[in-house]
Structure 1
Amino acid sequence: MDQAFLASYLIGLREGLEATLVVSILVAYLVKSGRRRQLLPLWGGVAAAVLLSVLFGGLLTYTETSLLAGYRDRELFEAIASVIAVVLVTWMIFWMRRTSRRLKGELTGKLEAAVGVGTLAVAGIAFVSVIREGLETALLFYAAAQGATSTAAPLVAISLGVLTSVVIGAGLYAGAIRVNLQRFFTVSGVLLVFVAAGILKYGVHDFQEAGVLPGLDVQAFDISGVLDPNSWYGAALAGMFNITAAPTVLETVAYVAYLVPVLAAFLWPARPASPPRTGAAPGPSQNPETSPHVPA
């Protein structure tokens, strides 16, 4: 198994499902409100966002392979891209944790206003709603795939992840399958924190390779006798979480310094919702166990 396969699949699945849920909410609202004519511009906005995201991913690869001539410049570019990817994925998982329960209301409110403006506004809402996920996916994929031994495997993995998310999203929309999305986003969020810690560790190593940070030859430990990098489990740990047998001290410090506080903050119980007024029955938004769902 290629080193970056699992991480790329998780990125495609998580980001793809977020985008699929957003599109499903928008489509369901237009269908239920009898505005099927607006579906064409909506899909046009989605297609434009996907195309721009793919072009952005291609630009990252082209910049590294064609525009940067020196080894030091390429390492520095990869390091900066890794740090930006870590910032984005951290913001994304906390944003989804905070806003998932009111996502439907926010999206439908914006779409209702856009319908009143015109076709281009509807396309714009769809574009803006999807492009964030698309650009995040491209950057995260680029950062996670840096340790790959094959250029094809990460691309296949992220494509499979996106395809899986589309199938799940379509099943949710049709009511054919039921998924506890709150639990899914919690579990995938924890895994993405580990992935982000690994990307940061890789970025620190790139900074050391570029000569920006010291300590490239100072190893924290060497467990290569136990963790064989050529074994399937060694490749899986390296690809998913960038756990390597002989990391530098600075890599290890960065990994732990990011992983422990971010994971603790993510898993820290959210504040309970305000108690309902006397005599009022608690609605879905007042139930902390309610998971976001897509209307059929």
Structure 2
Amino acid sequence: MFANYLIGLREGLEAALVVGILVAYLVKTGRRDLLPWIWLGVGIAVAISIGFGALLTYGPRGLSFEAQEALGGTLSIIAVAFVTWMIFWMARTARGLKGELESRMGVAAEGGAVALVLLAVLAVGREGLETALFLWAAAQATGDTTQPLIGAVLGLISAVVLGVLIYRGAVKLNMAKFFTYTGAILVVIAGGVLSYGIHDLQEAGVLPGINNVAFDVSAQIPPSSWYATLLKGTVNFNPTTTWLQLIAWVLYVFPVLYLFFRTVRKPMSAAPTAPAGESNTTTNQPQIVGGP
């Protein structure tokens, strides 16, 4: 449940911060009349994400076992790719996210209601679709849909509460450290999802080596034990792992962690100077980045 809570918290907080920036910009520029269009876009994005999750959950049930395994393995690998991209995107752009979104908001506001709705749908929907896909992949890996869903919902609720508190200035988080720590943990979790996806493709006959077992510690870590459940629910650890799964995990986790920390520690260029007549200091706006 912890892994899914973390996914819901991180993705939900990203979406909450984005919405907070958009709302704060409209309030600051005296365009409160446009706020309903932002909320409409957010609602559409949430509905699309829920529908996508339902399609993933109930759509493949009419397929054969091999087809289900092939589809599940492919989607798991796609989920890992999306999450990896998201982790690096946030690591690179978090410090300039506020200015980038405000720039887009200014253009959208001039374009009218449809542009604002589209901006909100794209900004929030991306997070929602990534969350739905990764949660589905994690649920497939653990063989349980209830616990991942509960964990994700609790994470999303926590994210919304934190987002509101940050917007109102009641809470200040060091976003640089938050996204660094959660990003590193998600890399390990994604490695487990990748390993499980490889296993699915092996069972479907798409990839070879289903019988080439690298290690089998099921005697020391019984699959029915609480600690095996804990390991599977957090990092998708499988007591019986094939060589292809192990190689894929190693080749993903260690290089991605190295590149991630290198990206995080890379010096950022100085923030642009505010135009004449404008101040860099704003009130009641979510602060995206805190220093290390």
Fold shared, TM-score > 0.5 on shorter chain: yes
Counterpart among 162, 184, 187 of residue 190 in structure 1: 184
Give how far 1:147 is off. 2.9
Give the direction of change, closer, same or farther, for the CA distance of 1:33–1:89 in structure 2 (3 Å limit).
same
Give how far 1:149 is off. 4.2
Counterpart among 258, 263, 271 of residue 257 in structure 2: 263
Distance 1:275 1:105 in 2: 13
Distance 1:275 1:17 in 2: 25
Alignment of 1:119-198 (within 5 A): 119-198=113-192
Counterpart among 267, 274, 278 of residue 272 in structure 1: 267
Aligned to 1:279: none
Distance 1:157 1:242 in 2: 15
Q: Give the counterpart letter for 1:271 in structure 2.
A: K
Q: Deviations over 1:89-137 (max 9, x none)?
A: 1100000000001101111111111111111111111111111111101
Is the 1:228–1:234 Cα contact (8 Å) retained in structure 2? yes
Is the 1:193–1:263 Cα contact (8 Å) retained in structure 2? yes
Q: Deviations over 1:45-79 (max 9, x none)?
A: 0000110011111111222113x2x1000000000
Counterpart among 39, 44, 57 of residue 35 in structure 2: 39
Counterpart among 62, 82, 85 of residue 91 in structure 1: 85
* Alignment: residue pair count: 276
Q: Residue 27 in 1 paired to residue 23 in 2?
A: yes
Distance 1:229 1:259 in 2: 23
Q: Give the counterpart letter for 2:27 in structure 1.
A: V
> TM-score w.r.t. structure 1 length?
0.89
Structure 1 gap segments, 5+ residues each: 277-283, 285-290
Give how far 1:225 is off. 3.4
Counterpart among 228, 233, 244 of residue 227 in structure 2: 233
> TM-score w.r.t. structure 2 length?
0.90
Is the 2:192–2:235 Cα contact (8 Å) retained in structure 1? yes
Is the 1:6–1:236 Cα contact (8 Å) retained in structure 2? no
Counterpart among 30, 46, 49 of residue 45 in structure 2: 49
Aligned to 1:12: 8
Cα RMSD, aligned residues only: 1.9
Q: Give the counterpart letter for 1:292 in structure 2.
A: I
Distance 2:267 2:111 in 1: 38
